[in-house]
């Protein structure tokens, strides 16, 4: 029996790279200023005359702006074409949907793999350290440049959800509604630990060359693949791993060797190997670091509710997945509690699923309907047709 694959027709997308002039630097949380800032983005749909139907989607750690259209490197469908498309919760026939590659990324926005125009060399480790707040600030510059004062919604999952929280905290007057999916208000010790394993794997690879591998014409592929494998385990629930693979073998018997005997080994190796074709190792270092540094409360006297005290007019939707152990439901509840304490309007749902964190990207009708319902209600309030 063949699995029925839902057809996602290619939808029209426009995009490009917004190059800010050198005299419009990005102010960074580290205290440094970064210029010239470049932001790569894609858009779906049309901005209405009132400029009131714009949605910014913030992507996750290894995502990019190719959310609902074919990825130019891998040729694969967009990472959220299950959610963004005609008749789907984020409908380009109704909304103007923007997705930008994050600051520090490697798909066109300024990042460690970009060329520093002052030296004509790749930045590498001379790229400044960044935070989730910096990512949101860079997006805010892009949104302003696109002529949009107020976003109808800012939507994101995982690291994208953290950017959503940062938007609500830093630019509440520019956000009508906010959707935070499978995220956390801070990185836990375990989150940091997994990232540190990945970073050490990359930096242990002699082809990392102290970060200057591009100049040397090599890439730390093995280290980056190991980092991806370690991270990937955290994206799946144990139940999902067991159901998907269990102890199933690749062939009839054990190899009595170190080949990929088990299907789960082969799967992880594939995840590692395919990742290095599309992702830059230094970007991985910088973005994981930004995540580890993320602790929204710490910017507000250690009180998360204070982060949202200016966001009382924002409509929030917080969603979590019951089997997500990377950013567990308890962390989403922390967000909701803080929103409530700050007097914000927040709806919350825990999606029952055994797919783990990865549910963000998988067939999960309960997520779609929660998102659809929230967007429809917010659109009505906003007076969108």
Give residues in contact with a second copy (CB under 8 A): 30, 129, 186-190, 192-194, 196-197, 199-201, 203-206, 222-223, 225-226, 229-230, 233, 238, 241-242, 244-247, 254, 256-258, 260-262, 264-265, 268-269, 272, 285, 289, 292-293, 295, 298, 325
Which is the catalytic residue, given 205, 237, 357, 358? 357
Measured from the CB of residue 376, what is the shortest distance to a second copy in angstroms?
Answer: 36
Query: How far out from the chain centre does Cα 103 lie?
Result: 11
Which is the catalytic residue, given 110, 158, 237, 332? 158
Taking phi over 0 as left and psi of -120 to 50 as alpha, with beta for the rest, 213 belongs to alpha
Judged by beta carbon, residue 304 or residue 311, the one nearer a second copy is 304
How much of the chain is helix, strand and coil, in % rounded to 5? Answer: 40, 15, 45
| Lookup result for tokens 């047709």 | 385
Q: Based on the number of CB atoms within 10 Å of its own CB, is 108 exposed (0-12), middle (13-18) or buried (19 or more)?
A: buried
Judged by beta carbon, residue 212 or residue 233, the one nearer a second copy is 233
b vs e for 344-368, b when ≥16 Cβ sit within 10 Å of the residue's Cβ?
bebbbbbbebebbbbbbbeebeebe
Measured from the CB of residue 191, what is the shortest distance to a second copy in angstroms?
Answer: 9
Judged by beta carbon, residue 221 or residue 364, the one nearer a second copy is 221
* SS3 readout for 148-176: CCCEEEEEEECHHHHHHHHHHHHCHHHEE
Measured from the CB of residue 117, what is the shortest distance to a second copy in angstroms?
Answer: 23
Measured from the CB of residue 384, what is the shortest distance to a second copy in angstroms?
Answer: 40
Measured from the CB of residue 218, what is the shortest distance to a second copy in angstroms?
Answer: 12
Measured from the CB of residue 219, what is the shortest distance to a second copy in angstroms?
Answer: 13
**β 151-157/121-122 pair status:** unpaired
Query: How far, in Å, CA of 96 to CA of 87, rounded?
Result: 14
Judged by beta carbon, residue 233 or residue 384, the one nearer a second copy is 233
CB 134 within 8 A of CB 111: no
CB 28 within 8 A of CB 360: no
Nearest to 177 by CA among 55, 308, 315, 58: 315
Nearest to 342 by CA among 301, 371, 309: 309
Judged by beta carbon, residue 249 or residue 384, the one nearer a second copy is 249
Judged by beta carbon, residue 167 or residue 194, the one nearer a second copy is 194
Name 150's Cβ contacts closer than 8 Å, sequence gap at least 6: 51, 52, 173, 174, 175, 176
**For this structure, is 324 an active site residue?**
yes
**For this structure, is 158 an active site residue?**
yes
Which is the catalytic residue, given 109, 324, 332, 358? 324
Indicate which residues carry an active-site annotation: 158, 324, 357
């Amino acid at each position: 029996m063949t699995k029925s694959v839902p057809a996602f027709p290619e939808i029209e997308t426009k995009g490009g790279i917004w190059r800010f002039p050198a005299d419009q630097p990005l102010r960074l949380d580290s205290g440094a200023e970064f210029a010239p800032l470049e932001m790569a983005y894609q858009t779906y749909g049309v901005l209405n005359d009132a400029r009131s139907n714009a949605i910014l989607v913030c992507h996750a750690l290894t995502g990019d702006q190719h959310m609902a259209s074919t990825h130019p490197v891998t040729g694969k469908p967009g990472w959220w074409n299950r959610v963004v498309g005609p008749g789907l919760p984020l409908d380009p026939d109704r909304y103007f949907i923007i997705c930008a590659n994050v600051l520090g990324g490697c798909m066109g926005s300024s990042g460690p793999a970009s060329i520093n125009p002052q030296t004509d060399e790749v930045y590498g480790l001379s790229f400044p350290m960044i935070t989730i707040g910096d990512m949101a600030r860079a997006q805010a510059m892009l949104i302003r440049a696109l002529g949009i004062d107020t976003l109808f919604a800012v939507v994101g999952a995982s690291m994208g959800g953290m950017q959503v929280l940062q938007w609500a905290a830093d630019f509440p007057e520019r956000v009508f509604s906010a959707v935070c999916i499978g995220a956390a208000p801070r990185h836990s010790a375990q989150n940091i630990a997994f990232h540190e394993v990945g970073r050490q794997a990359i930096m242990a690879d002699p082809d990392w060359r102290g970060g200057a591998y591009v100049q040397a014409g090599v890439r730390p592929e093995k280290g980056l693949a190991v980092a991806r494998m370690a991270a990937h385990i955290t994206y799946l629930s144990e139940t999902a791993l067991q159901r998907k693979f269990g102890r199933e073998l690749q062939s009839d018997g054990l190899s009595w060797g170190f080949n990929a005997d088990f299907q789960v080994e082969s799967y992880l190796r594939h995840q590692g190997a395919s990742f290095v074709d599309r992702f830059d190792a230094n970007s991985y270092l910088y973005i994981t670091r930004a995540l580890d540094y993320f602790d929204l409360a710490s910017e507000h006297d250690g009180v998360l509710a204070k982060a949202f005290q200016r966001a009382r007019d924002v409509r929030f939707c917080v969603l979590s997945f019951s089997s997500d152990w990377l950013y567990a439901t308890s962390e989403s509840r922390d967000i909701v509690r803080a929103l409530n304490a700050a007097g914000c309007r927040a709806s919350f749902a825990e999606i029952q699923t055994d797919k783990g964190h990865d549910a963000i990207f998988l067939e999960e009708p309960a997520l779609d309907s929660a998102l659809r319902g929230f967007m429809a209600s917010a659109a009505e309030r906003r007076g969108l047709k």
